Structure 1
Amino acid sequence: MNHKEVSNNLETRICNKCGRELPIGSFRLMDNKVNAPYYLGQCKACEYKYQREYIEANKEIKFSDDLDILINRQYKEIKQERVLNLSVTGIIPIGTDENFVRLMDYRDYWISNYGRMIHYAYKRFSLLNGSYDSNEILGYRVSKNILCNGRWIYKQKTVYAHRLVVDEFIVNPDKQNNVYIWHGGYNKDDNYYRNLYPLNKEQYKIVKQNYIKTGDDSEEFILKVMNDIRYKPDNWSKPSMEPSVCGIGYCGDDEVDCTSQSYLRWVDMINRCYNEKFHERQVQYSDCEICDEWKNYSNFKKWYEENHYRIGNEQMDLDKDILIKGNKVYSPDTCCIVPHGINTLFITGKKQRGDLPMGVCFEKDKGKYRAYMNYQGKSIKLGTFDDPATAFVVYKEYKENIISDLAEKYKGMIPDKVYRAMLEWNIEVND
């Protein structure tokens, strides 16, 4: 530190830490009754900052004595329909396990588990370079489908590679609070999914502090931090982690409105998948399941509130069948909110039709196969035929046209991913 005698003429001085010229009152006056009084060379702000950094760096990290590991490291199961076939792109993977998965709310973009992004435009696939912000975080400029003044439109925005990787490949146990992402080895250039950890603010601070002090950011240490109640948000409690709905679903925090629309939809979804009495009435749901993230109500609530919208007074349904045909998993990547009229178009009715193709029934009195379609509460008769295959072809053409027409009617009022899925819908005989 610079020691200078106090001068009555000195009104400002330059801090030897931050380099700013500041009023003399911004520096601490030292008077130890031995030497002549002098001002410290660093300003009070820099002095305080150094003291806080020293305290944080040397503070001992402690864990609860009865630490229970309730949260483990989990990775998402990716639907194959979302995985890009690299052989048609001409792009070489940087790792044998690199996979690019479609981003459902973006216009023809795929993100890989290494943080690389591919865009399809002008009939070709391109690997995007991205750019780095002031914090040295890799981002991409993309078009995202968003709701704006009651219409779904595409809007340019910057998205960050590490956040997309976490969202698409890693099970985040607490999406409400885990908005900080730790890069293994504090290497912000490393966006490989196995080296990224979604954490809350306090957890991130502890992991960073320990890494700076000891060099340890092992998965074992991070899991201890994630599970210790000392580093949980205020609204967290152990009872909130107990599976209280069908032995599967848990609330995730203590502040739950059990009368809210999101909660009622969540409970209904769990009952559809795991309630045996419900399966006695609706057997088609007996092999359905819910992704790990949505077993936590607080995660489902966040998604539901971000994706819910209204179209006049129409009933809006949670659908799992439209985006990925034959899907049996309720998840953020496979579900969407749609008007009830659209949702009912994709009911297959396997239980009622028996072994016959969809849209076909046998009329005993005529000895013929009838093609028909139930739509808007009415049964539309499409003709009778000698064999079920011919009847199905007629039904298939008619219903695909209905779906296509309805997609055009709701264009802009429904998310583009729903609109495009409807236009591309292909009815098959074994549906």
Structure 2
Amino acid sequence: MEKLVAGIGTNDLVNDIEKQIEMGLTPVLQRKCYQAWKDRLEAETVKKRATVSTVWLTYSNFARWWLETHIEDWCIDKDWLIAGNKEYHPDKCCWIPQKINTLMNDGGANNGLPKGVSIHQIKYFRARCSVSGVRECKNFKNSHDAHRQWQLWKIEELDNVINEFRFDQRLDQRIIVRLTEVRDSIQSDYDNNIETK
């Protein structure tokens, strides 16, 4: 009986070095691919933030997809192609640069404040956002004004990222469409004085 990986996945290649070589899994690629697979499984069983499709519960299925699609130094993403997707599935995932993967991670929301806003020195609300690799910060007397500043910075950064990757043929162009939708949504929120959720 094979030991399950992360309690749910079967490594059907563990004792089949010939099959690994036939597939193109060199020792270096094998380590990277296996770690990526294990990370997806642990997203379901340990971190409980996603599920894994039954197709990818078998390592060889994941490895084939990984070998066919892998882009060095990029990340496997499950929620840029399909907004709100929580399943790691070959038809729902793609490779994206780290810059896009972390694009919307500006804090706020989970701290009870709007996105991109935090408390600074107890008396200020701080807007925070990275724009062109530079961390921007500015203090305001209320969270609403801080959030509006974040919206402006986020629109600028989304424009930068869209322009940078628009013609990158490695990137699934559906990501550019989603980035544009997100950018337009934040612009609409800003124009209508609405908090971006």
Task: Please classify the TM superposition score into its range, dividing by the shorter chain length.
Answer: 0.7 to 0.9
Alpha carbons of structure 1 residues 268 and 301: separation in structure 2 relative to 1, 3 Å: same
Deviation at 1:306, TM superposition (A): 2.1
TM-score (norm 2): 0.74
CA distance in 2: counterparts of 1:388 and 1:288, whole angstroms: 31
Match of 2:40 in 1: 269
1:404 aligns with 2:183: no
Match of 1:360 in 2: 117
Tell me, what secondary structure is at the counterpart of 1:334? coil
Query: Which whole-Å deviations, capped at 9, do the CAs of 1:326-356 have from their partners, x for residues lacking one?
Result: 32211123211011222121335469x5111
CA RMSD of aligned residues (A): 2.7
CA distance in 2: counterparts of 1:262 and 1:401, whole angstroms: 35
1:326 aligns with 2:81: no
Tell me, what secondary structure is at the counterpart of 1:424? helix
Count of aligned residue pairs for this structure pair: 175
Query: Which structure carries more helix by proportion?
Result: 2
2:107–2:117: 8 Å Cα contact kept in structure 1? Answer: no
Tell me, what secondary structure is at the counterpart of 1:294? helix
2:132–2:157: 8 Å Cα contact kept in structure 1? Answer: no
Match of 1:370 in 2: 126
1:389 aligns with 2:144: yes
Q: Which runs of 5+ in 2 are unaligned?
A: 190-194
Query: Which whole-Å deviations, capped at 9, do the CAs of 1:53-84 have from their partners, x for residues lacking one?
Result: xxxxxxxxxxxxxxxxxxxxxxxxxxxxxxxx
Deviation at 1:375, TM superposition (A): 5.6
Query: Which structure carries more strand by proportion?
Result: 1
1:418 aligns with 2:175: yes
Match of 2:4 in 1: 244
Matches within 5 A, 1:159-238: none
Match of 1:338 in 2: 96
2:50–2:87: 8 Å Cα contact kept in structure 1? Answer: yes
Alpha carbons of structure 1 residues 407 and 295: separation in structure 2 relative to 1, 3 Å: same
CA distance in 1: counterparts of 2:53 and 2:83, whole angstroms: 17
Tell me, what secondary structure is at the counterpart of 2:81? coil
Deviation at 1:392, TM superposition (A): 1.4
Match of 2:192 in 1: none
Structure 1: 4+ residue segments shifted above 6 A: none
Query: Which whole-Å deviations, capped at 9, do the CAs of 1:131-187 have from their partners, x for residues lacking one?
Result: xxxxxxxxxxxxxxxxxxxxxxxxxxxxxxxxxxxxxxxxxxxxxxxxxxxxxxxxx
Tell me, what secondary structure is at the counterpart of 2:76? strand
> Aligned match of 1:299 in 51, 54, 61?
61
Deviation at 1:377, TM superposition (A): 6.6
Q: Which runs of 5+ in 1 are unaligned?
A: 1-238, 280-285
Alpha carbons of structure 1 residues 424 and 408: separation in structure 2 relative to 1, 3 Å: same
Query: Which whole-Å deviations, capped at 9, do the CAs of 1:204-232 have from their partners, x for residues lacking one?
Result: xxxxxxxxxxxxxxxxxxxxxxxxxxxxx
Alpha carbons of structure 1 residues 395 and 289: separation in structure 2 relative to 1, 3 Å: same
Deviation at 1:302, TM superposition (A): 1.9
Alpha carbons of structure 1 residues 419 and 399: separation in structure 2 relative to 1, 3 Å: same
Query: Which whole-Å deviations, capped at 9, do the CAs of 1:224-282 have from their partners, x for residues lacking one?
Result: xxxxxxxxxxxxxxx5xx4621111112454345751222211122123212xxx4xxx
1:371–1:394: 8 Å Cα contact kept in structure 2? Answer: yes
Alpha carbons of structure 1 residues 350 and 371: separation in structure 2 relative to 1, 3 Å: closer
Alpha carbons of structure 1 residues 370 and 349: separation in structure 2 relative to 1, 3 Å: closer
Deviation at 1:359, TM superposition (A): 0.5
CA distance in 1: counterparts of 2:85 and 2:3, whole angstroms: 25
1:320–1:335: 8 Å Cα contact kept in structure 2? Answer: yes
The structure with higher relative contact order (CA 8 Å, sep 6+) is 2
CA distance in 1: counterparts of 2:10 and 2:136, whole angstroms: 44
Instruction: Report the identity percentage.
Output: 27
Tell me, what secondary structure is at the counterpart of 1:298? helix
Q: For the pair shown, which has the larger CA radius of gyration, 1 or 2?
A: 1
